[in-house]
Every structure is written in C-alpha cells, then in structure tokens.
C-alpha cells in the first residue's frame, strides 16, 4: 500500500521573514526539515527509531525551487512524501502550497542512512521497507542533485565559526544554517532583485562544532533571465558544501 503524503500547516510569522517580508532561507529549510522529521517518525523511521540501530539520516544533496516566496501572515501547507531509492540515496519530495492552491516551493532531497559509529553510509535497500514509497508524482521530475561548478575567480565573502546554536541531533551544523550561509555568500548587489529562485546543494563533508569555514563565491552564466552564482563553504581550503544559486 502506498505511503500517504504528510500535510502540515504553517503560518508565516514575522520572525520567519527578512527585510521586505519574504520568507528567510533558514525558515524555509526549517519548515521542510520539520515536515520530513514528523513524517519519518510517523512511518517508524524517525531519529529515535534509527538511533536504536545505531543509524541516522543525513542530508546529502538537494534541489529547491522557489516560484514565489511565502510572505508574513500567509498560512501555507507543506506536503512531503518518500519518493524512492536511487543508489545510496533515499529520496524525499516536498511542496509548499498557498491557501488558494498556488505551488510556492518544490524541492527534492537525497538522504543517506549513516552508521553512527563508523560515520559511513549504508545501502538503503537493505534497511528500508521496499514499499516505503508514495504514489504521488515527483515534485521535480527534472530534479538535479549536483551543483554546477564555477571556473572562478572565487571571492571570499566571510568566515563563520560553528557554535552550539548551529548544531543538530547529529552533532554537526544543521543543513538549514548551511543553506542560509550559502545564500548569504554572494554580495547583495550581485543578486538581481535579491529574490531566490533555485538552489542545488551538495553536502560533501560535515561541518563540526568549532570549525571555522570560509564562504566563497564566483559568478556563473545567467540562465533564463536569472542571475546565478556558485557558492562554497570551505574548511582549511577543503570544500564542505557547494551550491549553485539562481536569483531574479
């Protein structure tokens, strides 16, 4: 029997929004992460159940597209569902819908199942139930799970030290903070109107408590009227997270 789609309602509060009233990237990522966690718990694959077998979920890659940013005062519905297995990845899709039915955001995340002690990925087909999938169509049929790399030149935007407020249940910087840091990397005056339209992200290495990362960016060719950048978070010169970002 197909897995049912989870629906959660969120009202966008002032503290979720940045200047101008649109949703912060940090808040957007938190909403999707909350929905994924609630659904995983309901299906018996939440953090506590996984922890009993010394396993955990870790984000590996994602494709997020913003058609219109939710604004302060709006009530939206977040939908999420497990959408299949691709090699080492367990896939989960998302949609955020406005009250009138407008699709505001679509995303697809690729998760790894990690052996906590070895800190190594496990093959999901040997762990997850074979029927743990929804029959809902993919949110992004053309989802891309790799970030386009830039030839440079790379510019340093800022450095950030991971502190306790950034750390999640897995003991590393939560993906929501990493998304926010990536989107803060290109200078505001290079982002068109400043409205984020898409981000493809690859998580290469964990960012751990006390790590100081350097945020760098480089231009990418414009596409479909969108201004684009490559952004990376690096620790001692090694890439921890990379992304390509598109703005209008």
* 91 has pLDDT over 80: yes
* Same domain, residue pair 194 and 97: no
139 in any annotated domain: no
**Which pLDDT band holds residue 20 (cuts at 50, 70, 90)?**
confident
* 1 has pLDDT over 80: no
The count of structural domains within the chain is: 2
Beta carbons of 245 and 231 less than 8 angstroms apart: yes
- Closest to 93 (Cα-Cα) out of 103, 106, 104, 102: 106
pLDDT in tens, 189-240: 999 999 999 999 999 999 999 999 999 999 999 999 999 999 999 999 999 9
The kind and range of the H/E element at 51 are helix 47-52
Distance linking the first and last C-alpha atoms of the chain: 42
149 in any annotated domain: no
Q: Is 163 exposed, middle or buried (0-12, 13-18, 19+ CB in 10 A)?
A: exposed
137 in any annotated domain: no
Task: Please compute the mean of the pLDDT values over residues 13-34 and round it to a whole number.
Answer: 94
CA 109 to CA 84: how far, in whole Å? Answer: 11
* Same domain, residue pair 75 and 162: no
- Closest to 107 (Cα-Cα) out of 20, 176, 166: 176
* Same domain, residue pair 69 and 171: no
Q: Is 145 exposed, middle or buried (0-12, 13-18, 19+ CB in 10 A)?
A: middle
199 in any annotated domain: yes
* 66 has pLDDT over 80: yes
The kind and range of the H/E element at 218 are strand 212-223
**How far are the Cα atoms of 123, 125, 184, 194, 230 from residue 88, in angstroms, in the given order?**
5, 8, 30, 35, 25
Does residue 50 sit in helix, strand or coil? helix
Residue 104: per-residue pLDDT = 98
* Same domain, residue pair 121 and 215: no
- Closest to 105 (Cα-Cα) out of 21, 212, 28, 164: 28
pLDDT in tens, 100-130: 999 999 999 999 999 999 999 999 988 998 7
Beta carbons of 196 and 183 less than 8 angstroms apart: yes
* Same domain, residue pair 86 and 182: no
CATH code at position 235: 3.10.129.10
- pTM comes to 0.95
Domain that holds residue 185: 155-247
* 19 has pLDDT over 90: no
Q: What mean pLDDT value characterizes the chain?
A: 96
Beta carbons of 111 and 57 less than 8 angstroms apart: yes
pLDDT in tens, 125-164: 889 987 889 999 999 999 999 999 999 899 999 999 999 9
Residue 22: per-residue pLDDT = 86
SS3 track for 21-34? CEECHHHHHHHHHH
Beta carbons of 157 and 184 less than 8 angstroms apart: yes
- Closest to 112 (Cα-Cα) out of 232, 203, 238, 173: 203
CA 130 to CA 192: how far, in whole Å? Answer: 45
């Amino acid at each position: 029997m197909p897995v049912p789609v989870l629906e959660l309602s969120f009202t966008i509060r002032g503290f979720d929004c940045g200047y101008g009233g649109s949703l912060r990237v940090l808040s957007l990522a938190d909403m999707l992460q909350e929905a994924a966690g609630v659904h995983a718990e309901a299906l018996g694959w939440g953090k506590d159940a996984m922890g009993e077998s010394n396993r955990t979920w870790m984000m590996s890659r994602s494709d997020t597209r913003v058609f219109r940013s939710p604004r302060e005062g709006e009530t939206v519905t977040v939908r999420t569902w497990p959408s299949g297995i691709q090699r080492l990845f367990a896939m989960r899709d998302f949609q955020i819908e406005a009250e009138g039915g407008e699709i505001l955001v679509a995303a697809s995340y690729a998760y790894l199942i990690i052996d906590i002690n070895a800190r190594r990925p496990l093959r999901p087909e040997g762990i997850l139930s074979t029927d743990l999938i929804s029959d809902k169509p993919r949110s992004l049929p053309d989802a891309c799970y790799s970030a386009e790399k830039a030839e440079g030149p790379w510019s340093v935007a800022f450095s950030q030290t991971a502190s306790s407020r950034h750390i999640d249940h897995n003991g590393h910087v939560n993906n929501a903070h990493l998304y926010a840091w990536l989107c803060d990397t290109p200078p505001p005056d290079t982002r068109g109107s400043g409205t984020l339209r898409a981000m493809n992200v690859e998580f290469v290495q964990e960012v751990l408590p006390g790590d100081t990362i350097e945020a760098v960016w480089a231009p990418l060719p414009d596409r479909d009227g969108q201004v684009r950048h490559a952004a990376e978070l690096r620790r001692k010169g090694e890439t921890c997270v990379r992304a390509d970002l598109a703005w209008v």
